[in-house]
Structures are given as structure tokens and as C-alpha cells.
Amino acid sequence: MSVETPLLPVAPFVLPLEGRLLAHRRLLVEILRILPDDRHKHLVDWIDDRTRYQHVGQAPGSLPGDGVDLELARADEFQVLKRLVPLRVA
């Protein structure tokens, strides 16, 4: 028998935001699913380019500054979308 980890308590405003995010994610995946092959590949490549956080102008090895959490969350969401979008084999 496995033991489930309890969910962390969340603020009341988080659940509606999560619901909206899930709805937008589902819509985006459906739009990508029905696109013609050339547009599909273009957008999947575009998403792939955004799955990694890249801070231009920051010296290698330096500590991240303000706003990094938002950019990392954005890159993480693009990674989620990339995993959800069905791949097409030519």
C-alpha cells in the first residue's frame, strides 16, 4: 500500500487561478493539435525555444536577480505545454 503525500494548504485565490491556467493550457494544446503540419512544427519549435530560461546580459556564474522566479515559471509552463502537445511523425 502506498502512502500519499498530503497536499500543502493553498490560499483561497490559488484554486481559481489554477483552474484558469488549466483551461488555457487545454485550449492551447487543442489549437496546436488541429493546426496544419507546417504551422504545428513552427509553434512547437517556438515553444521549445522558450522551455529554457535564458537571461541575456547576465554574466556566467553570477547570481540571478529580481524577476527570475517569473521567468523560470514561464519556462516551466512551456515545458509542460511541450510535453502535452502530440508529436507528429512525417
In a domain? residue 3: no
Per-residue pLDDT averaged across 50-67, rounded?
Answer: 66
- Asked if the model's pLDDT at residue 64 lies above 80, the reply is no
Q: What is the pLDDT of residue 87?
A: 77
The parent domain of residue 76 ranges over 36-52+67-85
- pLDDT range class, residue 5, cuts 50, 70, 90: low
- Report the percentage of the chain scoring pLDDT > 90: 43
Residue-wise pLDDT tens digits, 7-28: 677 788 888 888 899 999 999 9
| Nearest-angstrom CA–CA distance, 32 and 47 | 11
In a domain? residue 78: yes
Question: Helix 14-34 to helix 68-84 angle, to the nearest 10 degrees?
Answer: 50
In a domain? residue 10: no
In a domain? residue 43: yes
Reported pTM:
0.69
In a domain? residue 5: no
Number of domains in the chain: 1
In a domain? residue 47: yes
In a domain? residue 79: yes
Question: Helix 14-34 to helix 37-49 angle, to the nearest 10 degrees?
Answer: 140
